[in-house]
Copies of this chain bind each other. A is one copy, B any other.
Amino acid sequence: MTSAPLRFAHLDPSHSPGQQESTGGIGDSRAVDFSHGDVDAFPPPAPAITAVARAIDDGGTWAYSPYRGHGTVRAALAGRLADLTGADIDPASELLISAGTQASLYLAMSSIVERGAGVAIVTPDYFAYRKITGYLEARPVEIPLSYRDAGEPGVLDLAALERAFSAGSRLLVFSNPNNPTGVIYDATHLSDVYALAESYGAHVIVDQLYCRQIFDQRPFTHLRTLPGASTRVTTLMGPSKTESLSGLRLGVAIGPAELVSRMESLQGIVTLRAPGYSQAALMSWLAEPAGWLESRVSAHQSIRDDIAGVIRESRTVSARLTEGGSYMFLHSLSVEGRLDEFVDRLRVECGVTVTRGFEFGDYPDGFRLNFSQSHAAAVAAVERLVDFSDRF
C-alpha cells in the first residue's frame, strides 16, 4: 500500500463518538453511552417513520432524487425553515438536502476553502471542523470561546477573529448552540461577529443542528436573519438530534445559490444524494404534532437540571449549565495528564462512555456528555462518573 496522501494527516477517528468499543463490561445493565443520544429513550416523531416506510413501498417515486434533494421535499420545507430562521428561502436555489449534517458541513467547507487558506474555528467546538480543514490542506486558526464563567454570556474572542480575518482567513465556522458547551450566542454578539465577517468579505458557516432545543425560554438568534446575511451565511440544520433521526442520514443547508450549486456538484461525486427514501421523513419535519417539541425540550431540560445538581456536589467536576442542545462539557480537577486513562477506565469500570476534551481543542481536563438518554440511567451514570473522578 502506498503511503496516505497528505490530506490524511489529521483524520484519525479512534476517539470520535461512536467509535469506542461498546460501553461497560458484558452484561453491565447500567451502561450509558454519552457519546451520542439514545434514540430509544427519545424516539423519532411517528409521522417521520411512517413516511419513510411508505416511501420505501412507493419505490420509484422516492428512490432517486436530483442531487440537491427531492423538489417536493424542498418545496415543503422552505416555508417552514423560513419561518423558523426568520428569512426567506428559495427552495429551488438556496436549499440543499444532504446525507446528514456532517455531509452538509463537508460539502460547504470544501466549497469555500482553498488549499492553504486559514479557517477561523472556534475552540472548543465540534471536532470535525478541524479535521475537514486539515483534509482540505488548509490551516485552522483558533478563535477562543469564553464559557468557564457561568455568570457571563459565552462570547468569542473578537480580537482573535479580527486577527484571523486580517491575516487572510475568509471563513468562520462555528456551532450555535455550541458543541460541546451548550452556549447560545446572544443577538448583540452575533451582530458583532457578523459585522467583522462582512467588513472582511468573509463567509460564515453556522451549524445550528440543535437550534430547536433551547432551554429556559432563552431567545435564539438565527444568524441568517441579520441584514444582508443571505449572501454570506450558510446555515446547517437537520433532524438528527432533537428529532432522533440520525439513522436516516439527513441534513439541510441553506445558503447563497452559488454555494448551494457547488455543494450539489460535490454531493454528486461524494454520495450522489441523501438517501431517497429517508428524504420522505422531512415532509413532516418542523411540523410535528402539537406539543411534541415542547415536551421534548422540557424532558431534556429536566435531565440537564438533575445532572447539574449531581455535578454541583462534586469536589472535582464542574460544568457550565447547558443553554441549548444535549451537550454538557465537564472539567475534572483530577484527570489532567491522564485523560485517556480516565476515559478508558470510566467506560470499562463504570459503564460510562464520554467523549474526550481533546476532540474539541486543547482540553486535557475535559470531556463531553450527550445527555439525551433515559433520565434515571443518565443521572445514575453521572453519579458514578463524579464518584470516580473524586476518587481518581
User: Footprint of B on A, CB under 8 Å?
Assistant: 1-2, 4-8, 11-13, 16, 18-19, 36, 38-40, 43-44, 49, 52-53, 55-57, 59-60, 62-67, 99-100, 102-103, 106, 110-115, 128, 131-132, 135, 137, 170, 201, 203, 231-232, 244, 246-249, 256, 258-259, 262, 264-266, 268-278
Contact = CB atoms under 8 A, between A and B. Distances in A.
Contacts of A53: 53, 56
16 contacts: A2-B112, A4-B111, A5-B113, A39-B59, A49-B56, A99-B275, A100-B272, A103-B270, A106-B271, A115-B137, A131-B269, A246-B276, A249-B273, A249-B278, A270-B270, A275-B278
A260 to B, nearest CB: 10
The count of identical subunits is 2
Given A13-B264, A18-B64, A63-B247, 11 more contacts: A2-B203, A5-B114, A11-B268, A59-B247, A64-B247, A106-B270, A115-B137, A135-B269, A249-B271, A270-B271, A271-B271
A102 B63 contact: no
Given A111-B5, A276-B246, A13 B268 contact: yes
Contact of A59 (B16, B40, B249): B40
A103 B19 CA distance: 20
B13 A265 contact: yes
Contacts of A128: 268-269
Contacts of A7: 110, 115
A102 B269 contact: yes
A110 B5 contact: yes
Contact of A40 (B1, B60, B259): B60
Nearest to A8: B262
A271 B102 contact: yes
Contacts of A59: 39-40, 43-44, 247
A67 to B, nearest CB: 6
Contacts of A100: 271-272
A209 to B, nearest CB: 12
A334 B337 CA distance: 74
Contacts of A170: 2
A376 to B, nearest CB: 16
A282 B343 CA distance: 33
A36 B19 CA distance: 35
Nearest to A22: B71
A21 to B, nearest CB: 10
A296 B38 CA distance: 40
B269 A114 contact: no
Nearest to A2: B170
Nearest to A112: B2
Nearest to A67: B13
Contacts of A266: 8, 11, 135
Given A247-B64, A270-B106, A203 B1 contact: yes
- Residue of A16, A60, A272, A278 with most partner-chain B CB within 10 A: A272
A162 to B, nearest CB: 19
Closest 9 CB pairs of A and B: A63-B247, A247-B276, A11-B265, A40-B60, A13-B268, A249-B275, A1-B258, A247-B277, A5-B114
Contacts of A201: 2
- Residue of A12, A113, A266, A269 with most partner-chain B CB within 10 A: A269
Nearest to A109: B269
A204 to B, nearest CB: 12
A301 to B, nearest CB: 22
